[in-house]
Structure 1
Amino acid sequence: MGPTLLTLAVIIAALIIRTAVSELRHPGTGSAQWAFLRDGRAVRTGAVAACVLGLFGWFQAGPEGLVWALVAGVLVAFAVSQRPAD
């Protein structure tokens, strides 16, 4: 589980650094990048994806599968929030 958590920490750090650099260059863009967390539809979709993937991930890889399912859920939520509403 060590390498998985280290990889996850690197991914989170890279996203935070990306947000900070963007905020320094153009004030106000940092909150816009994380606005998907306030979109209820996107958060629900990401949570469902994380649960489904977490179930399959648990059977395939154990606890590491849950970690990657969480990352996938966040990416799904981000992608859904970028799509125009129907």
Structure 2
Amino acid sequence: MNGSRSLLPVVIVVAALVIRTVIGELRRPGSARQQWAYATDGPAVVAGVLAAVAVAVTGWSHAGTAALAWAVLAGALVACLVGRPRNGP
């Protein structure tokens, strides 16, 4: 698989996340800090690292170095899901 072609979707998703954060910050100042708070949450970071390692190991033979970009993206998205605030007990 062509390396630059396999990185394009990752770049598009990252750009969309950054644009979403900027628009949210413009509408509600301080929302970016709240939205990205999972980056300092211990369990969320551990889950993200485990997901990133799993994607990198399984994807390396197919995508080569592009698997690292996919692994970082997958790890960040998993950490975001795990670190979301929960309502209730």
2:66 aligned with 1:61, yes or no? Answer: no
Secondary structure of the equivalent of 1:82? coil
Per the TM alignment, residue 83 of structure 1 is displaced from its structure 2 partner at its CA by: 5.7
Q: Deviation string for 1:25-66 (max 9, x for gaps)?
A: 111111111111011110111001111121001023222222
RMSD of Structure 2 on Structure 1 (CA) = 1.7
Higher relative contact order (CA 8 A, sep 6+): 2
> What TM-score comes out, normalization by structure 2 length?
0.82
TM-score (norm 1): 0.85
Provide the C-alpha distance between the structure 2 equivalents of 1:49 and 1:24, rounded to a whole number of angstroms.
31
Pick one of 41, 45, 48 that aligns with 1:46: 48
Structure 1 stretches of 4+ moved >4 Å: none
Structure 1 counterpart of 2:26:
24
Q: Percent identity?
A: 42
Per the TM alignment, residue 17 of structure 1 is displaced from its structure 2 partner at its CA by 1.0
3-state DSSP of counterpart to 2:29: coil
Amino acid at match of 1:64: A
Aligned to 2:4: 2
Give the superposition deviation at 1:68. Answer: 1.2
Query: How many equivalent pairs are there?
Result: 85
